Structure 1
Amino acid sequence: MPSFLAYPLEMIPYVLVTLLIAFTIHEWAHALVALAFGDDTAKNQGRLSLNPLVHIDLFGMLMILIAGFGWAKPTPVNRFKLKKRRLGSVLVSLAGPISNLLLAIVGVGLYALFLNYSFFTYGSITETFLMIFVELNLVLFVFNLIPIPPLDGYQILVEFLPMSARVKLEPVERYAMLIFLIIALTPISNFTIQPIFDTVIPFVFKIILSIFGLTPF
């Protein structure tokens, strides 16, 4: 594997297909819930769509392949348009990560179905794809709920903070991407993001597997 890639070359096609689906559904879910709460900003900008081309950020995709994490184009949300603004804001933020959790559940469900009816053999293209599909969607689910800017978890956290705390955080938000890259790309991640992944992802995965009566694969 080239040293600059986070995945073996033979895995790249599976990763790219998974990301096209996962990122598209994630951002579409944000737009759909925003519209349900009265904000048509994303819809008016053509983001209430299942067309991957309107959501994919090429640099964000490359970062997934190189660093193991990445992003799509953020869905525009005008939180002042939302009905029940705090509830609407929280649900809009949750919609993306929850969509990835649901995709992971669907992936495990398909794995269980195919395994039960012997639709694939171990190590086949279908099995490999489903394993990567489930893994990456779980990563996106957990990753996006981490409460650091500009992730969805941060926006959820902010909604529960008093106004005085929000005001103090505004200067920090200006450097959100820099803070994010430092936390994600430096050894700091070993003490922040990685422990969360190592603890939460296996826990959630085991719960999903138990739903379908599967053991870890």
Structure 2
Amino acid sequence: MTATTTRPSDRRISPVFLGILAVTAVTGWATWTGFAEQPGVAVFLFVTAAWIVSLCLHEYAHARTALHSGDISVGSKGYLTLNPLKYTHALLSIVLPVIFVIMGGIGLPGGAVFIERNRIQGRWKHSLISAAGPLTNVLFAAVCTAPFWLHSLDGVPRDFRFALAFLALLQVTAALLNFLPVPGLDGYGVIEPWLSYNIKRQVEPFAPFGLLFVFALLWVPSINTYFFDVIDAILRGLGISDLETYCGQNLYRFWQGTNEYCSISQ
């Protein structure tokens, strides 16, 4: 049966998301207070949980914008509950991005709320739906970096500052990668409604491989260096130093040991 409206239960926040939010809050408190004997473990759990929260909000933004643009089917699919288990590809949306954070410290864009585009009229609406996700990462990055660019770091514990710096790096990389005009990424979704039918037909077969193409490019040393130089420049503009993001990643990957420079940084 085709959904014609959304029920209150379709918009009720999922206990799964609330649980992830609770983990973020508890581990954030543990990082702030130094409660954990191993600060790296607290930072790891805090950043990972916060990253998953941002992924959920990213997909929610797509779905919520689609709902107001005409696709009322997103409610019955569970996308408005913020439950990551409801996504079309939970592996791509949650598991893979978390693995990439653990392995390489990069905010890999996920993807997978299925929008019924035929329900939506107007090119601007289609573009806005695609842009809503990465704009959420931009907002998340602004919140993470606020203590830095507002010069309000007095009283903020060192480890919590490092964790925020690394989390901000993940949000900035996710936003930048998502906005690339590559088939399969949100950036292409923004411009696709404005392309000719022939161009869209020619590009369509490559959409499933867009993310793999970007990932392969990032393995090229010169491109990887340039990409992270851009990320570092953005973060410096927001008041976060290279040392803070480095120490945040170092703390996050606690199993590799703590760097002495981070141990003495204030």
What TM-score results when the alignment is normalised by the length of structure 1?
Answer: 0.75
Structure 1 residues 42, 203: CA separation in 2 closer, same or farther (over 3 Å shift)? Answer: farther
- Alignment-derived partner of residue 83 in structure 1: 121
Q: Distance in 2 between matches of 1:48 and 1:28?
A: 6
Which structure has the larger Rg over C-alpha atoms? 2
Q: Which consecutive unaligned segments of at least 5 residues does structure 1 have?
A: 1-8, 210-214
- Alignment-derived partner of residue 137 in structure 1: 171
User: Contact 2:109–2:177 (CA<8 Å) still a contact in 1?
Assistant: no
Question: SS in structure 1 opposite 2:80?
Answer: coil
User: What is the letter of the counterpart of residue 165 of structure 1?
Assistant: I
Within 5 Å, which residues of 2 pair with 1:61-140? 61-67=98-104, 68-84=106-122, 86-111=123-148, 115=152, 118-121=154-157, 123-124=158-159, 126-140=160-174
What stretches of structure 1 move > 6 A for 4+ residues in a row? Answer: none
- CA offsets per residue over residues 83-127 of structure 1, 9 Å max, x none? 32x1111101110111111111112224567936x3323x23x21
Q: Distance in 1 between matches of 2:150 and 2:215?
A: 39
Within 5 Å, which residues of 2 pair with 1:109-188? 109-111=146-148, 115=152, 118-121=154-157, 123-124=158-159, 126-184=160-218, 186-187=219-220
- CA offsets per residue over residues 165-190 of structure 1, 9 Å max, x none? 11111222254454344334x32x74
Q: Distance in 1 between matches of 2:208 and 2:110?
A: 19
Q: Distance in 1 between matches of 2:84 and 2:209?
A: 28
Q: Distance in 1 between matches of 2:147 and 2:137?
A: 15
Q: Distance in 2 between matches of 1:73 and 1:216?
A: 28
Q: Distance in 2 between matches of 1:141 and 1:74?
A: 16
CA RMSD in angstroms comes to 2.8
User: What is the letter of the counterpart of residue 82 of structure 1?
Assistant: I
What TM-score results when the alignment is normalised by the length of structure 2?
Answer: 0.63
- Alignment-derived partner of residue 198 in structure 1: 229
Q: Distance in 2 between matches of 1:178 and 1:132?
A: 24
Q: Distance in 1 between matches of 2:225 and 2:64?
A: 31
Aligned: 1:18 with 2:18: no
Q: Distance in 2 between matches of 1:149 and 1:15?
A: 29
User: What is the letter of the counterpart of residue 197 of structure 2?
Assistant: M
User: What is the letter of the counterpart of residue 156 of structure 2?
Assistant: F
Question: SS in structure 2 opposite 1:115?
Answer: coil
Q: Distance in 2 between matches of 1:112 and 1:182?
A: 33
Aligned residues between the structures:
195
Q: Distance in 2 between matches of 1:53 and 1:61?
A: 14
Per-residue deviation at 1:17?
A: 2.1
Structure 1 residues 50, 119: CA separation in 2 closer, same or farther (over 3 Å shift)? Answer: farther
Within 5 Å, which residues of 2 pair with 1:48-67? 48-54=80-86, 56-67=93-104
User: Contact 2:77–2:86 (CA<8 Å) still a contact in 1?
Assistant: no
Structure 1 residues 195, 157: CA separation in 2 closer, same or farther (over 3 Å shift)? Answer: farther
Per-residue deviation at 1:71?
A: 4.0
